[in-house]
Amino acid sequence: MPHNKIADRKGHQGWMKREGQHFIFPGGGTMFPDGAEQYIKKLSQYIPINGGVLRTALDMGCGVASFGGYLLAQDILTMSFAPRDSHKSQIQFALERGIPAFVAMLGTRRLPFPAFGFDLVHCSRCLIPFTAYNATYFIEVDRLLRPGGYLVISGPPVRWAKQEKEWSDLQAVAKALCYEQITVHENTAIWKKPAADSCLPNGNEFGLELCDDSGDLSQAWYFKLKKCVSSTSSIKGDYAIGTIPKWPERLTAAPSRSPLLKTGVDVYEADTKLWVQRVAHYKNSLNIKLGTPSIRNVMDMNALYGGFAAALKFDPVWVMNVVPAQKPPTLDAIFDRGLIGVYHDWCEPFSTYPRTYDLIHAVSIESLIKDPATGKNRCNIVDLMVEIDRILRPEGTVVLRDAPKVIDKVARIAHAVRWKPTIYDKEPDSHGREKILVLTKTLWKL
């Protein structure tokens, strides 16, 4: 990665520095030049960083993701995102560090995350105009933030010279939504979202009102931003901070708001146990190097409840749980477990840099490209395999589970992209319905 522009521009702020042939990451940032560790320590005076109360965080405009990286020591899993702007490859550097990160920007559509999924939302000089367009961007943050969760904004416009109006408007919007201002310390402001429903309507100056229909709260794939505020009471279940179990208990507690759990938690509990067995089989019989330093960045392309990721809880990995946009929206249940992920359509490129994941896992790969209504393929499986090849690191591993005929077809494609395929016919409890294909991406010799 011969990209030293960030080191040249931001080295004095501790983002990243170049030493000889290596880049080092001191852990600093624009608003915390003394290091993310000290910054987090200051935040912990006002926010319950320790103790498992908070688990999922969103860092907007994250730079090289030092904030999220240092929160890992507190068992807080952060989804860091930034656009591909003048800083070019900041997300690529974050992923090279083994920190969860995603290329995205807050524009005209919702971010691809479920409603009320994040316990903490953080912006450190992210420069998002939260109060613009009738506070549309603040409304999106409110949709993503779990009731009882915390919002932290450092930098402009908080007590910033020549941005007095923007700062005043930001405080007014937060007040209109009944956010409790915990503190304003120097250029950092912290709010707590109410655990109950919003106090709207209240005749606020921004014209903020509750949405008439909140049934689309977790729809987030190509879904335009709304100018109304979502009602928390429209989603049933115990998912607010204080009622949801603390980490790590929440990993195994059945999420109460997944639409597929209405018939009970038996299916969920069976899925959790099944993936513990399957992951053990991967390690012991297939020699997948999970649990070793060889694998850090992992993706599950068809995550359902996040059972695969939950079974890796003791391994030094993080998992990007992807819920296909055409399938039941179970991503809220994944976040309630204390895991992270995104919605995505696998007929489109995934929003990441090339060669950024060490292991990619998928169950029923052909279903990712099928139309659920007609059963016809919406795109070519060859294109999907090429996209997997793009985001997989050289010498990385792909583990696929599917019907025997699908596995045989994918194995033939694997030869064409110069992967090394190995098919495993047997697995406990499969009864011949599935085969497992393990693929290794090889380094090409030119």
First to last CA, the chain: 20
pTM of the model: 0.94
Per residue in 297-352, pLDDT (tens digit) is 999 999 999 999 999 999 999 999 999 999 999 999 999 999 999 999 999 999 99
Q: How far apart are CA 356 and CA 382, in angstroms?
A: 20
In the prediction, which pLDDT does 279 show? 97
How much is the pLDDT for 430? Answer: 66
- Pick from 15-19, 228-232, 292-296: least confident: 15-19
- Is the pLDDT score of 292 beyond 70? yes
What was the pLDDT predicted at 344? 99
Contact 137, 128 (CB under 8 A): yes
pLDDT recorded at residue 113: 98
Buried b / exposed e along 227-252 (16+ C-beta atoms within 10 A): ebbbbbeebebebbbeebbbbeebbe
Q: Which domains does the chain have, with CATH numbers?
A: 5-234 (3.40.50.150), 252-441 (3.40.50.150)
pLDDT tens profile 69-121 = 999 999 999 999 998 765 567 899 899 999 999 999 999 999 999 999 999 99
Instruction: Please choose, from the candidates 246, 261, 252, the residue with its C-alpha nearest in 3D space to the C-alpha of residue 119.
Output: 246
Q: Which residue has the higher pLDDT, 200 or 138?
A: 138
pLDDT digits (tens, 9 = 90+) for 61-74: 988 889 999 999 99
Percent pLDDT > 90 in the chain is 74
* pLDDT value of residue 48: 98
The pLDDT confidence band at residue 10, using thresholds 50, 70 and 90, is: very low
Stretch among 19-33, 61-75, 346-360 having the lowest mean pLDDT:
19-33
283 sits in which H/E element: helix 266-284
pLDDT band at 28 (very low <50, low <70, confident <90, very high): low
Within 8 A by CB and 6+ apart from 338, the residues are 55, 56, 77, 247, 248, 250, 251
pLDDT confidence of 4, banded at 50, 70, 90? low
pLDDT > 70 in the chain, percent: 89
